[in-house]
Amino acid sequence: MITTDQTVQTFLEFFRERGHELTPGGSLIPSPGDPVLFTTSGMHPLTPYLMGRPHPLGQRLTGLQRCLRTTDLDEVGDDTHLTVFEMLGSWSLGHYSGPQSLRWGFELLRDGFGIDPSRMYVTVLGR
């Protein structure tokens, strides 16, 4: 069985091998002036860069971000609600698009985590 540490290491190494720079995890409490009370997603610290501002580490990034969800605090404790957790992420800030991201996601599952492609299923949400 793969451990949490092995999962994190496999994910981050996979994207670093593909030219992504490791971003430091941000604080759970965003900077003054940020409209959110807590960091609720892995991409939140990157919001200014996703909106077009250049990131000091470049256009390909990966990292692990602590997150806190408050929308269901009254239901914490059952098996279906996560409140404090960490999100792994990889981002392209205008360097590549969806098709490349999908290819790498498939390769990560197949080659990084050793999942047999015959056990994978694809779903699409159409609108």
18-41: per-residue pLDDT in tens? 999 999 988 888 888 888 878 888
d(CA 27, CA 33): 14
Mean pLDDT of 42-68: 91
Q: Is residue 60 within 8 Å of residue 72, measured between CB atoms?
A: no
Q: Is residue 95 within 8 Å of residue 60, measured between CB atoms?
A: yes
The pLDDT, as a whole number, for residue 82 is 64
**Residue with the two structure tokens 């960490």:** 86
Asked which of 11-25, 67-81, 84-98 is least confident by mean pLDDT, the reply is 67-81
Dig out the tokens for 95 from the structure: 């360097």
Q: Is residue 61 within 8 Å of residue 31, measured between CB atoms?
A: no
Whole-structure pTM value: 0.84
Cβ neighbours of residue 66 closer than 8 Å, sequence gap 6 or more:
25, 26, 28, 39, 84, 85, 86
Quick one: residue 34, left, alpha or beta (phi over 0 = left, psi -120 to 50 = alpha)? beta
d(CA 103, CA 18): 12
